[in-house]
Amino acid sequence: SAVTGTLRGVDPALAERYTSKGSSFKCFDGSKSMPHKRINDNYCDCIDGSDEPGSSACWNGRFYCRNRGYEPKVVNSSMVDDGICDCCDGTDEQPGKCMDTCLEAGAAARAELKARTAAAVAGARVRDGYIKRAKIARAEWDAHLKRVDMKHAEQKKKADAAKAKKEAVEAAEKQEREVREAREKVEREEREKAQKEAEAAKQLEESKLSKVEPQDSDSVTSVASSGADQAGAVDTQNLADEVAAASKAANEVAQQQQQEQAAGQAQELDPDEEAKQRLAQWVHSSDEPPVEGAGEGAEEATTAGGDESAAPEAQDDDVEYVGEEDGEEILIHPNEPAPSWWSKGKAWVLSKLQRAPSSSPPEDAETAARTAIKAAFTKEQNKLTELEREKQELERKLGLDLGPEGAFMPLIDRCIEANVDKYTYSVCPFKDAHQKDGGAQTKLGGWSGWESNGSVMSFTNGQGCWNGPARSITVTVVCGQDEALMNVLEPNRCEYIATMTTPAACTPAVLSALQGDITRGEQDVLDHTEL
Amino acid sequence: MTSRNAPTPTSAPGYDQSLGLLMNDVVELNSKSLFNFEPLRQKQEGDPEGLWEETFRSHKDSKPKGPEAISLDIAFPAARHVYGLPQHASDFSLKATVGNNISSEPFRLFNLDVFEYETSSPFGLYGSIPLLVAHNAKATVGAFWLNAAEMWIDVDKSARGTQTQWIAESGIVDLFILLGPTPTQVSEQYAALTGTTALPQLFSLGYHQCRWNYRDEADVADVNAGFDANDIPYDVIWLDIEYTNGKRYFTWDAAHFPTPEAMQHNLRDHGRKLVAIIDPHIKKDPAYYVQTEGEKRGCFVKDKDGQKDFDGWCWPGSSFYFDAMSPDARQWWAEQFALTKWQGSTPDLYLWNDMNEPSVFNGPEVTMPKDAIHFGGWENRDVHNIYGMLVHRATAEGLTARGKAAFGSDGDRPFVLSRAFFAGSQRYGAIWTGDNAATWDHLRVSVPMLLSISLAGLPFCGADVGGFFGNPDAELAVRWWQLGAYTPFFRGHGHLDTKRREPWLFGEPHTSRTRAAIRRRYALLPYLYTLFRQANLHGLPIMRSLWYEFPHEEAGFAIDDSFMLGPAILVAPIMEAGAQSRSLYLPGGSKWYDGITGEVMAGRGGEAQVAVDMDSIPTWLRGGSILPLQERPRRSSAAMQGDPFTLVVALDATSQAVGELYLDDGKSFAFQRGVFAHRVLTFTDSVLANAPYVEAAGKAYNPGNEVERIVVLGLPRGGKWQVHLQGAEARRLEAEPGPLTLRPGLPASALVVRKPGLQITGSWSLKFSSSVS
């Protein structure tokens, strides 16, 4: 209307309030009424600022600029007539002060919007693929988990059986030890007693030498020791019997095991087997290359992701595989063929064994058998642990919130990197984030979940800062044609933020919002031409 | 020296004889016969250890002149309270350091960079002013010993008043007794000796946003935009040491600040400024032009043998120290600030001198060895406490020269913040209280520290809002902003390791409270700027103790948890966590109005208990005052230049009030040739009059700002008031009851004259009359 056309700073949606019939204008909060001439008279009459939409008189006023050719804007009254152009149409300042730059600003914004929309459309197509892959992956993980569950149940039985045998051996060994210790105790006591008697005799002799005739010291000793012998004899015999029984049992177990195992295996362990056992005490792993376990799932996921970035990652593994801060066990990358580390480890252990002077007497068959039983247990237990880990990993993946329709699944085994100054930042969604500086790397955090309605990935509990908190990073996820990490900043000490583009965030809602903006932008241009 | 039996000076002119005081009741010199000095001597066999050489930890002081100390005693027999001797993190009324059951070191004056300083300590901090002020209900006197060597002062309180003993490590006795007898006369007498405050640029009285460090140009732009987005005013953003190329001052880190000029232009286009840090240590690097220039020209402090340049560690590692004692070195230093010299600098760039005690990381007590040699052969021992001020001076002179080169003879007033200070620093710029911490203790101690510095003639001072070390919680941060808004220098700052704390980062409702506090500061700018002009003319403090304004009220002598901002506003900051009320003292004999609601404080002064919440800091307007305000919120002081004024008239019990307003371009030295407006506003016999300030009438400055509102508190109730403009253009003005402040929910405690159509710099008078009388 004509009135709003002349009334500066009025939001068209509120225009009627200023033009209502009647003799007076009423503050929006109803606190006061006044003649219309007090509207925009550069004096604040309404405590809510409503009488001065077009001046800076009120402390809390809102100035509306139409910005034809671009989008409307509401600025604080503090910015009206302050000599600085805040609206692209320049209406917040006195005429002649500012140029109308809305068409240019609008054109730039529309071009940017178009580019963003194009990227979003492309991203949305990629996202459709992500979703399909997510469904397949999920089904595979489910199936895989079932297989692992079955294997796990079987392995549990095996491990339990091996454990029972091992415990029998340990019981036998315990008894043997007790017998041995008892015997040693008796022997020690005998020795001490003899020694005491010898000393007593010596003293006696010395005193006799000075006073009386010497007595036969041997007879004193022999009397004393024969008494001890008699007292200990029964116990020793009992223990010896027990040891024999245990030994027999152990032999039986060993024989049984040997039968169970591939026939014809030599009683003595071959050096490789022994090395494996020794290695098993150092490193926690199965005795086989872990090709069928966790590796399978990971491989599937990687392949499904159709993603090449996994390849360079594998090269890092020699560095990566020792758990760095938390003292975790060694992790073995699923894609890495086991023989490389296995043969290295074996060679190392063997060399140690060869170099070590063999001070202990050669093991008898029984000892070897027992060692074998224990080794068998370790082996079965390791297999079980490996399966448990595999199971946990699958369960973790299945439990992850991979976004609407699981669209973020393809990011599960990826790391997105950005170079900022001398650092490389690496964000591995659902896993962890690092800051790398040459060879050194600092953990910024482990996956802790989504924040802000699923638009921010949060990684917490990274490496502690000197005199500060544990590092953390929050990554805002936005729609983009492909994955990229940007705007990595550390606004607070050790609290990092970043933005990541990914097609996974190109949801229909994002697309339709962009389309809406484009439509509005087109309308803006029309408005401006109408002017 | 005068003995107790032959008291010093004759009676001072203007002395209030009606008080019936005798001079020897006020100050006595050498009444304890402690005046003593070490005569210069030759080194001899068998001299006691320490006479010619001292060791401190791994440091050795060669003491080439041997012992040189001087001691004297000054007593104030009628005064139980003495003040001054900044800088110490302790009570405003100085505690006794000797006496029964007192185990305290003397107050120490020795400029030091103290890491995480403690409160309630007589230990020396970053600045030193050897001025002591004694006060009782009848008279105020001062003692000023102009000596820049390390000094120790013992304070002994007894029934016979206060005795003090002063010992300086070297130098001469250059002692001035300031006879007052009023507090303002002591200020004027001290200013006559050391100078008055340089009139600062208006922008520097706004809010300053600092941090160690704003990371890069994008960060600066974001913070700048953040203030606008949150509708919070500010004038200056600051860059700490990280903006440089490897702590080489006068250079920029090219990776993070590749286009410093464009960055400054962006700030300028928003009406804002940039302050960058420049410290007096110069990185030892033969590829660094400032180092090679300074070395070639002989501008660095020498080591104890006076031959080699003294080499000490500071931020850049091994460094030389600019010898501010040398006139030629100061000239060289000043030249560095020329726009043609300092690449990347623009006229919107101002300065910050830190570490100028000087701080030497590997020196004794983190400062320069006392036997280092300055210009003229002076040992640092003799000039230690003045060094920082001379750095401050050289920088300010550099900016003044830059301004004249850029803008002609009216130039551009410098703005330089310094950490170290000495008697006279007020002539060069602002100082702050150094590296405080985000604790309630440090918030509390900031008030006595600033009162003490202000009393010692250095009114442009402030404490880091929020606390430099550590992270304030939202409550502490808001309380600090609320207090900071009423301190002369108002800057938020934080350490590199702290969380970001720009005023909006604590979220609501904290942001709104902080916004309100900072906006309040901006509304007060015309009043504050006028106070600075009075400081500039007469050496008066801006932040004042209660006794400074109410010298006869003994109940106020020890109060240092509230203060006066100029003569008209009493500020009682909240400095306790979870406070729901606070007690305070409102000097009697005055009428007090709540600073926000305008309601009269019940009773006639004395102890009061007031309820408080998180929203406001208790302030009272003193009856009898007229305050000029600019109440429209803006993004910066520059954006307020054309805004209209509000006059708040707070009547006293006899319905009178007086105030003044000083206005100039806020920027140049044109005021020195009379281009300013100085007005006096009076309300007597129901007439509000605006007239030239007689003492210093200006000429030709009439910016044309209007008065949009006149708010009168304390008119007799009951009648309907009419207001008429008197004179040739007589007319009736619109006036109706309304609130003191434009905020919802406030009572109509005032008579508000609406749009009187008058200019703030015009001469006019308004007659107030009541229809019912």
Could you read off the pLDDT of A136-169 as tens digits, one per residue? 999 999 999 999 999 999 999 999 999 999 999 9
pLDDT score of A332 more than 80: no
Q: pLDDT-based confidence at B48, cuts 50/70/90?
A: confident
Active site residue B105: no
Shortest distance between the Cα of A444 and any Cα of chain B, in A, equals 17
Q: What is the mean pLDDT of residues A451-456?
A: 93
pLDDT score of A218 more than 70: no
Per-residue model confidence (pLDDT) at position B493: 98
Active site residue B615: no
Which of B222, B190, B193 has its CA nearest to residue B209? B222
Question: Which residues, listed in sequence order, are joined to residue A433 by a DSSP beta bridge?
Answer: A427, A445
Q: What is the mean pLDDT of residues B298-304?
A: 97
Q: What is the mean pLDDT of residues B25-40?
A: 91
For CA atoms B740, B745, B747, B752, the dihedral sign is: positive
Active site residue B311: no
Per-residue model confidence (pLDDT) at position A3: 42
Q: Which residues contact A490 (CB under 8 A, 6 or more apart)?
A: A496, A497, B215
Per-residue model confidence (pLDDT) at position A365: 82
Q: Which of A221-230, B174-183, B494-503 has the lowest mean pLDDT?
A: A221-230
**How many residues are there in chain B?**
773
Q: Which residues contact B122 (CB under 8 A, 6 or more apart)?
A: B88, B90, B95, B97, B104, B105, B106, B107, B108
Q: What is the mean pLDDT of residues B122-133?
A: 96
Token pair of A374 as six digits? 């224990």
- Please tell me which residue of chain A has the smallest CA distance to B270: A84
Q: What is the 3-state secondary structure (H, E, C) of A165-196?
A: HHHHHHHHHHHHHHHHHHHHHHHHHHHHHHHH
Token pair of B393 as six digits? 């001076």
CA distances from B679 to B212, B641, B649, B660, B665 (A): 41, 17, 15, 5, 15
d(CA B761, CA B548): 30
Q: Answer yes or no: do B708 and A492 touch at CB < 8 A.
A: no
The complex scores an ipTM of: 0.91
pLDDT score of A132 more than 60: yes
Position B223, amino acid = V
Q: What is the 3-state secondary structure (H, E, C) of B148-194?
A: CCCEEEEEEEECCEEEEEEEECCCCCCEEEECCCCHHHHHHHHHHHH
Q: Which of A196-205, A231-240, B155-164, B177-186 has the lowest mean pLDDT?
A: A231-240
Per-residue model confidence (pLDDT) at position B231: 97
pLDDT score of A286 more than 70: no
| CA angle, residues B524, B529, B530, in degrees to nearest 5 | 100
B271 part of contact set with chain A, CB < 8 Å: yes
Which is it for strands B645-650 and B706-713: parallel, antiparallel or unpaired? parallel
Judge contact between B290 and B336, C-beta under 8 A. Answer: yes
Contacts 24+ apart (CB under 8 A), A339-348: A339/A289, A342/A289, A345/A279, A345/A282, A345/A283, A346/A272, A346/A275, A346/A276, A346/A279
Q: What is the mean pLDDT of residues B190-200?
A: 98
Chosen for mutation from A56, A58, A499 (greatest number of chain B CBs closer than 10 Å) is: A56
* Helix H or strand E segment including B733: strand B731-738
Q: What is the mean pLDDT of chain B?
A: 94
Q: Which of A214-218, B417-421, B648-652 has the lowest mean pLDDT?
A: A214-218
Q: pLDDT-based confidence at B23, cuts 50/70/90?
A: very low
Q: Answer yes or no: do A76 and B742 touch at CB < 8 A.
A: no
Q: pLDDT-based confidence at A348, cuts 50/70/90?
A: low
Question: Which residues, listed in sequence order, are joined to residue B735 by a DSSP beta bridge?
Answer: B753
B304 part of contact set with chain A, CB < 8 Å: no
Q: Which class is domain B3-42+51-194?
A: mainly beta
B498 part of contact set with chain A, CB < 8 Å: yes
The CATH architecture assigned to B545-622 reads Sandwich (2.60)
Judge contact between B35 and B4, C-beta under 8 A. Answer: no
Q: What is the mean pLDDT of residues B354-370?
A: 97
Range list for CATH 3.20.20.80 in chain B:
208-280+342-358+385-534
Q: Choose the most confident range, by mean pLDDT, from A279-288, B111-120, B371-380.
A: B371-380
Considering only CB atoms, which chain B residues are within 8 Å of A59?
519, 631-633, 742-743
Per-residue model confidence (pLDDT) at position A517: 86
Question: pTM for this structure?
Answer: 0.81
A483-522 tens-digit pLDDT: 999 999 988 888 999 999 999 999 999 999 998 888 887 8
Share of chain A above pLDDT 90, in %: 54
DSSP B212: T
B283 part of contact set with chain A, CB < 8 Å: no
d(CA B290, CA A455): 50
pLDDT score of B492 more than 60: yes
B630 vs B52 pLDDT, higher one: B630
- DSSP-assigned states of every residue in A33-76: EEEGGGTTSSS--STTSTT-TTSS-STT-EEEE--TTS--EEEE
A194-215 tens-digit pLDDT: 999 888 888 887 776 665 444 4
- Please tell me which residue of chain B has the smallest CA distance to A492: B499
pLDDT score of A446 more than 90: yes
Q: Answer yes or no: do B231 and A76 touch at CB < 8 A.
A: yes
Burial of B408 (0-12, 13-18, 19+ CB in 10 A): exposed
Q: What is the mean pLDDT of chain A?
A: 78
Nearest CB to B633 within list A43, A78, A489: A78
Q: Answer yes or no: do A491 and B500 touch at CB < 8 A.
A: yes
Q: Burial code of B38-70, b = ≥16 C-beta within 10 A, e = fewer?
A: eeeeeeeeeeeeeebeeeeeeeebebebbbbbb
Q: What is the mean pLDDT of residues A91-106?
A: 94
d(CA B705, CA B703): 6
Q: What is the mean pLDDT of residues A374-387?
A: 93
Q: What is the mean pLDDT of residues B493-513?
A: 96
Question: Which residues, listed in sequence order, are joined to residue B275 by a DSSP beta bridge?
Answer: B238, B350
Judge contact between A499 and A476, C-beta under 8 A. Answer: yes
d(CA B510, CA A460): 27
Per-residue model confidence (pLDDT) at position A209: 62
Per-residue model confidence (pLDDT) at position B772: 59
A311 vs A96 pLDDT, higher one: A96
Shortest distance between the Cα of A459 and any Cα of chain B, in A, equals 18
- Residue for token pair 């890092």: A316
- Please tell me which residue of chain A has the smallest CA distance to B744: A47
Question: Which residues, listed in sequence order, are joined to residue B731 by a DSSP beta bridge?
Answer: B725
pLDDT score of B574 more than 60: yes
Q: Answer yes or no: do B269 and A84 touch at CB < 8 A.
A: yes
DSSP reduced 3-state for B67:
coil
Q: What is the mean pLDDT of residues A283-287?
A: 41
Judge contact between B439 and B464, C-beta under 8 A. Answer: no
* Helix H or strand E segment including A521: helix A508-530
Considering only CB atoms, which chain B residues are within 8 Å of A43?
708-709, 754-755
Per-residue model confidence (pLDDT) at position B621: 97
Q: Which CATH code, of 2.60.40.1180, 3.30.70.260, 3.40.50.970, 3.40.190.10, is assigned to B625-770?
A: 2.60.40.1180
Judge contact between B212 and B482, C-beta under 8 A. Answer: no
pLDDT score of B303 more than 50: yes
Which is it for strands B59-61 and B731-738: parallel, antiparallel or unpaired? unpaired
Token pair of A107 as six digits? 């054109």
The CATH architecture assigned to B208-280+342-358+385-534 reads Alpha-Beta Barrel (3.20)
B694-728 tens-digit pLDDT: 765 656 799 999 999 999 999 988 779 999 999 99
Range list for CATH 2.60.40.1180 in chain B:
545-622, 625-770
Q: Answer yes or no: do B744 and A468 touch at CB < 8 A.
A: no
pLDDT score of A331 more than 70: no
Considering only CB atoms, which chain A residues are within 8 Å of B270?
84
Considering only CB atoms, which chain A residues are within 8 Å of B516?
none
Shortest distance between the Cα of A505 and any Cα of chain B, in A, equals 26
Judge contact between B488 and B542, C-beta under 8 A. Answer: yes
Considering only CB atoms, which chain B residues are within 8 Å of A29?
744
Token pair of B747 as six digits? 């009572």
Catalytic pick among B348, B357, B549, B594: B357
Per-residue model confidence (pLDDT) at position A491: 84
